[in-house]
Each structure stands twice: as structure tokens, then as C-alpha cells.
Amino acid sequence: MLHKLRGIGMEAVALEKGDGVGGTWYWNRYPGARCDVESPYYSYSFDADLEQEWEWTERYPAQPELLRYLNHVADRFDLRKDISFETTAVSAIFDEVSDVWTVTTVGPEGGQVTRARYCVMATGCLSSARMPDIPGLESFEGNLLHTGMWPHEEVDFTGQRVGVIGTGSSGIQAIPVIASQAENLQVFQRTPNFSVPAFNGPIDQEWVKGIKADYPALRERSRHTTMGIPYQRRDQSAMEVSAEERQRIFEHHWPKGGFRISSCFNDLIRNKESNDALATFVRGKIDEMVDDPKIAELLKPQDHPITAKRICVDTDYYATYNRDNVDLVDVKSDPIQEITARGIQTAGKHFELDTIVVATGFDAMTGAMLRMDIRGRGGASLREHWDAGARTYLGLAVAGFPNMFTIAGPGSPSVLSNMVTSIEQHVEWIAEHLSYLAERGCASSEANTVAEDEWVEHVRELSEKTLFPSANSWYLGANVPGKPRVFMPYVGGVGTYRAHCEDIAARDYEGFLIK
């Protein structure tokens, strides 16, 4: 966004809490942290030289490589000079008379104020890490680590008794690596998730050569897909083929790794029968990978449709339970009662631990923005506006909050997609909108309430046609006690969403009040 704003001749400053760039890849440094989208696709497309010159080493990039890439981008485009690091925004207040935002921050120099006509919230969807509400957490005398706020120093688990709470994507990535170091690992699982192997490895140079030769076309294709990844989705229902053929197709896609399995039919998230077929197939794979049938049973999700929670992409996750030093604790049947000074107390047992790794996720999509006191027209607060659930127009703007735009906001497809494809689209759309305002000498743009209401309704209606809302996922705030249960992402796909945003722009930003 910063680079793009400079490109359209605007003066811009970025405020960043961390002491370096990288966002998700700056904070989530836990062992095994890795992107679930393949590296040549999970990369910026805005600069042809950058995409040609950067060389990825692994098919799925690990956190250190992604952080190197993002640092390279920051240096290459000389971005640091306009980034204020270690600067946490605590409030953003809009002044209606001057059409200017005032952002108050705290940083190394104490409290400061930044004034700007436009305020772009690039605060992240999974950036507000949540500690679980378990009594006694603060009394633990060992090492307590959250995957989303991992220390910058290397953590060595050698010789340690470790407990991991949480088996979402973060837990599933960290568990095999911790297990390979620790003396003993207890995994505290409340709800199992569907995970598929990445089949990661060193990147295939021939594959990369092909991609680089065809990058513009591949990027363009990605922009019009559902997920923002140029996979070819089979345009057929899983129920249109015989059971044998279905099995053959699942088996064919499985070794391709990761999300490719969800592209093998076109109705897996819409048709319960099709979804059940894939879920049964993956449960069968869990049986094949886990030696102990009782453990395998516990690891098989039964409570939600497959892909209704973002599917986890792993390396050796299920096989980790075949190790002698790893135990699975089913905290659904034996709930955690408290954290003690020396470990974790469940209803039935006390587990002595040196380190507890908390992989319990985030206050997703709204958490980072609502931590700030954001006030729009008439001093109205965003916390109040979103009291019954996040409301946006296009996932890009909020009624009553003029000149504020959101990147990857609720109401956009970002969290269901390749984040980079989505983020670039938001950045381009916002930049074009700001250019439009500048060209016309306008000082203010605000989503109108009717447009916002209609968009919120549209997002809801689309989600109801799928199996997404039937899972207790962070997509609808189900992981945060007291958070309104509203399904937040736009499920219509990256391509349809893009077309819609372009159409709104072509119609002189219909739904925006511009003056």
C-alpha cells in the first residue's frame, strides 16, 4: 500500500507495532510455521523484476524465508524510511470539519499524533493473538509461549516436557517439530481439524521455470479463481461420478498436496453429500497414517464439514502420534481445569510440564481494529457500530467512517483465499479510488448505510448457501467467548468479488458518498 501510494504521488506513512516488517510472518515464528500456499503463488505480482529475480527454496515457504522475502521487498522499494516501527496505534479519530484522521500512537518516543486525510487499516485478520481463558494461566512457573507471539530468540525443547494446547493450523504445524526435540510432548486437543499433507520439499526448478515463463498469465488467472491460486478446479459435482471414480479422483489429488484436494470437485463446500465423501476419504487417510486405532479415532473430525474451517496443510502431523514420546490428551472428555505452577490439571490427571505452548488462535478479522478506539462521524465508535457483528461495504469501507479503508477486511474473501492475491486487489482498488478522489478535488469518501446493509446481507446470503456457517470457526467469531456470531468472509470467491469491486468503481463508486 505504501509503495502504491507513493506511485500515485501521495505522501504516506506506515505505523507498525513490530520492530520490523512482515506482519504475520514477523510474529508467528513458532517452529514449523509455514505458508499453506505454494511459494511462487504466495508472492507479490506488482513488480515483474521482483517476481523473476526472487528465488524460493521450498515448495511451501517457511516463516524465515517469507520474512526474508518481505524484508527484501521493504529494502528493494526503499519502504523503511516511511515506516514508523515499534509504534502502536491506540486511537484513530475523524474530524468532520477538516476531513482528517488523527491517529494517536505510543512508541519509543512516548505518545505521538499523526494526521492524515486517509487512514488505511492494514491491521491483519489473524494479528490479535488470544490467550485462552483457563484459570491459573499466570501461575505457571515454566515457559509459557503463544504461537502468535513467539519470542525472537530460538526456543530449544531438547530434554523438555512440553504441552501444546490447540490443534488448529498453528498447533498442527508446531507439533511435529516440537515432538522431534522434546523429551515428551502432550497434545491437548479439544476439537480435531482436517489436515492434509503438504508434500513439501525443495522447490522443483523446472516447475518454477515454467511459472516464471508464464507469470503474467498465471497471475491473471489467479485473480479470477475462487481462492486466488491458479489451480484448475474440476467443474463437476462429486456426486456426478460413481463411488469408485470419486475414490480414484481423491486418490489422484491427495499426493499433489495441500489445497489441491479441495479443487477436485466443484461442490465440496456446497453439497453435504459431496463434502461427506471427501471427509470420509480424509478420515480413511488418518487411519492409514496413525498406528493406534484409538488415537486415529480421536484425530478424526466429526463435528464440522471438511473445508468449512480453513483446511490445515501439514508435514508429518498424523505420523507424529506414532512416536513414543507423544501423547494425545482428549480435553473434550477430560477437560482442562486449570494451569498450575507446574503444569496442566485436567479433570482426571495432572501433567508436569516445563513448557506450555498455547496454539489457541486469534480474535480474527476484527480483533486488531477493535483494540483501537476508532471514531468516525459524530464521534461514533467502531466498537459500537460492530457491536452486533462486523459491518462493511465490500470489506473495504465502513459507513460512518469516512476516508477509512480496510485491507482484507471482514466482508471480503481474503481469509478464504491466497492472502497475497486478495491484498494486492484491495491495495489497487483503494489506490485507484484515492486517485479518483484526487482528480476530482474531493476530500471525502464514505460508504453509505444502505450500501453497507445490502453488502452485509449479500455476504450472509452467500454464506448460507454453503456449509461454512455450520462449523464453529473463527470465520464467525465462534472461538471468542461473547463475540457476535456473524459469518464474516465473503464466500463468492476472489474472482467474483474482484468483478464486483471493479463494477462499483466503474459506476463512479456506487454506494459511496463522495464530496
Task: Give SS3 for 6.
Answer: helix
Task: State the residue number with the nearest CB to ligand NA7.
Answer: 168
Stretch that binds ligand NA7, among 53-61, 357-365, 484-492, 500-508 (CB under 6 A): 357-365
Return d(Cα 128, Cα 108) in angstroms, integer. 21
Whole-angstrom distance, CA of residue 63 vs CA of residue 27: 10
Comparing CB distances to ligand NA7, the nearer of 2 and 353 is 353
Give whichever of 359 and 390 is closer to ligand NA7, judged by the CB atom: 359
Cα diameter, the chain: 69
| Residue 247 within binding range of ligand NA7, rule CB under 6 A | no
Q: How far is the CB of 195 from ligand NA7 (least distance, A)?
A: 11
Instruction: Find the part of the chain contacting ligand NA7 (CB under 6 A) among 163-171, 230-238, 343-351, 437-445.
Output: 163-171
193 contacts 301 by C-beta, under 8 angstroms: yes
- Taking residues 361 to 400 in sequence order and writing x for each that binds ligand NA7 by CB under 6 A, - otherwise, the string is xx--------------------------------------
Residue 103 or residue 358: which is nearer to ligand NA7 going by CB?
A: 358
Binding-site member from 360, 392, 414, 445 for ligand NA7 (CB under 6 A): 360
Q: Which lies closer to ligand NA7 via its Cβ, residue 191 or residue 449?
A: 191
Is residue 344 within the footprint of ligand NA7 (CB under 6 A)? no
C-beta of 22 vs 171, nearer to ligand NA7 = 171
Minimal distance, residue 257 CB to ligand NA7, in Å: 16
Can residue 417 be called a binding residue for ligand NA7 (CB under 6 A)? no
Do 208 and 265 contact (CB within 8 A), yes or no? no
| Residue whose CB is less far from ligand NA7, 443 or 478 | 478
Cβ(406)–Cβ(423) below 8 Å: no
- Answer for which of 4, 72, 80, 190 binds ligand NA7 (CB under 6 A) is 190
Contact between 487 and ligand NA7 by CB under 6 A: the answer reads no
Q: At what angle do helices 243-253 and 272-289 cross, to 10 degrees?
A: 60
Taking the C-alpha atoms of residue 118 and residue 347, their distance in angstroms, rounded to an integer, is 52
Contact present, 238 and 267 (Cβ < 8 Å) = yes
Q: Is 307 in the site for ligand NA7 (CB under 6 A)?
A: no
311 is a contact residue toward ligand NA7 (CB under 6 A): no
At 300 the three-state DSSP class reads coil
Q: 316 to 335, contacts with ligand NA7 by CB under 6 A?
A: 331
Task: Judge whether 88 and 112 are in contact, CB under 8 Å.
Answer: no
Q: Least separation, in Å, of the C-beta of 129 and ligand NA7?
A: 8
Distances from the Cα of 471 to the Cα of 264, 308, 464, 491, angstroms: 21, 6, 12, 14
Which CA distances in Å does 228 have to 219, 381, 415, 417? 9, 33, 11, 6
Q: Where are the beta strands (DSSP E) in 80-222?
A: 83-84, 88-95, 100-107, 110-116, 119-121, 143-146, 161-165, 184-189, 195-197
| 338 CB-side CA count, 13 A | 8
Question: Residue 450 is placed in which grid cell?
Answer: 444502505
196 sits near ligand NA7 (criterion: CB under 6 A): no
The pattern of x and - marking residues 261 through 300 that bind ligand NA7 according to CB under 6 A reads ----------------------------------------
As measured in angstroms, the least distance from the Cβ of 125 to ligand NA7 is 8
Q: Candidates 93-101, 160-168, 372-380, 434-442 — which segment interacts with ligand NA7 by CB under 6 A? A: 160-168
Interatomic CA distance for residues 387 and 343, integer angstroms:
37
Residue 483 makes contact with ligand NA7 by CB under 6 A: no
Are 122 and 407 in contact by the 8 Å Cβ rule? The answer is yes
In a 10 Å sphere around its CB, with 0-12 CB exposed, 13-18 middle and 19+ buried, how is residue 274 labelled? buried
* Footprint on residues 82-141 left by ligand NA7 (CB under 6 A): 126, 132, 134
- Kindly provide the residue ranges of all beta strands, DSSP E only, lying in 368-424, ordered along the sequence: 373-375, 404-406
For 203, the 3-state DSSP assignment is coil
Q: Which of 22, 168, 409, 493 binds ligand NA7 (CB under 6 A)?
A: 168
| Residue ranges in 169-188 that form contacts with ligand NA7 under rule CB under 6 A | 169-171, 188
Confirm or reject binding of residue 197 to ligand NA7 (CB under 6 A): no
The residue within the footprint of ligand NA7, chosen from 249, 261, 359, 427 (CB under 6 A), is 359
Using the rule CB under 6 A, which residue among 54, 157, 474, 487 binds ligand NA7? 474
The yes or no reply on residue 445 touching ligand NA7 (CB under 6 A) is no
For residue 167, the minimal CB distance to ligand NA7 (Å) is: 4
Q: Per the structure block, which three cell numbers stand in for 162?
A: 512440553
Nearest residue (CB) to ligand NA7, 330 versus 452: 330
HEC-encoded secondary structure of 316-377: CCHHHHHCCCEEEEECCCCCEEEECCCEEEECCCEEECCEEEECCCECCCCHHHHHCEEECH
Q: Which is nearer to ligand NA7, 198 or 397 (CB)?
A: 198
Q: Outline where DSSP puts E strands in 166-318.
A: 184-189, 195-197, 312-314
User: Does the protein bind ligand NA7 through residue 422 (CB under 6 A)?
Assistant: no
343 binds ligand NA7 (CB under 6 A): no
Distance, CA of 36 to CA of 199 (rounded, Å): 11
Considering the rule CB under 6 A, would residue 66 count as an interface residue with ligand NA7? no
Cα Rg of the chain (Å, integer): 23
Binding site for ligand NA7 (CB under 6 A): 126, 132, 134, 147, 165-171, 188, 190-191, 310, 331, 336, 359-362, 474, 479
